[in-house]
Amino acid sequence: MRLLQVDAFTDKPFGGNPAAVCILNEAQTDDWMQSLAAEMNLSETAFLLEEGEGVYRLRWFTPTTEVDLCGHATLASAHALWEEDLVQGDDEILFHTNSGPLTAERSNGWITLNFPVVGHEEGPVPPQVTEAIGVDPVRVVKSDFDYVVELASEAQVRQLSPDMGMLAELVDHGVIVTSQADDGPFDIVSRVFCPGLGVPEDPVTGSAHCALALYWQQKLNQHEFDAFQASPRGGILKLQLQDDRVQLQGQAVTVLRGSLSHDVGKGA
């Protein structure tokens, strides 16, 4: 089975968000996939199983749990399939996932993912969200996957040092901290913290931007955004909101390429 490590949402090695991509030659058990994800110890390991020409079943695992949506590991998966010549040319890729069908297209060095919009709602917020952030928020809302915390400035987002132990109590949600960009080429900035899911700070988070696209569209009344995730590694995304879908654009770089030993596969 082929195994790659891909840096997603960057055009340079050692930037963006690293994901492992395992291209299965046969179905494996959930426990086996979870064990490999723990072994890789990256924020996500993606597992691909071919279901037809250009059609793949795709699942994502953190080191501790399976997740229902992951943007950077989907970008890495599409990149890996084209890099390994398992999908020809720039043919579209269809992924069957726990979040429904997702597609990937490639053009001029950029990969475009078609993802569902993630909505949000007002409501009670656990006190540890704002206590752990340590900065008075402009607004806090809850999406299907995360709490979205808007701060007053890009500087506050970049300088944030949250209490990870407190955030780890949120075992079923992460926290997206965001603001408008102060100036320069970007419209919005963000950081994402998910210690309760085994990922203290995620370097670049595609799924978070499925929530941020709608959040900022409603606030700024625009449908396209250049976004920067201001983690230490950093990552660039282009967003376009189209009804109930978000077009996520990014680039990717293969860092490692190898294969799992035959005995490892037999252990399923």
Q: Which residues are catalytic?
A: 44
Residue with tokens 């809302």: 141
Q: Is 235 left (phi over 0), alpha (psi -120 to 50) or beta?
A: beta
Question: Which residues pair with residue 61 across a beta bridge?
Answer: 45, 66
DSSP annotation string for 127-157 = HHHHHHH-S--SEEEEESSEEEEE-S-HHHH
List, as one string, the DSSP characters of 107-132: ETTEEEEEEE---EE-----HHHHHH
CB atoms within 10 A of CB 169: 13
User: What gap in Å lies between CA 98 and CA 47, rounded to an integer?
Assistant: 13
Report the C-alpha gap between 141 and 1 in whole angstroms.
42
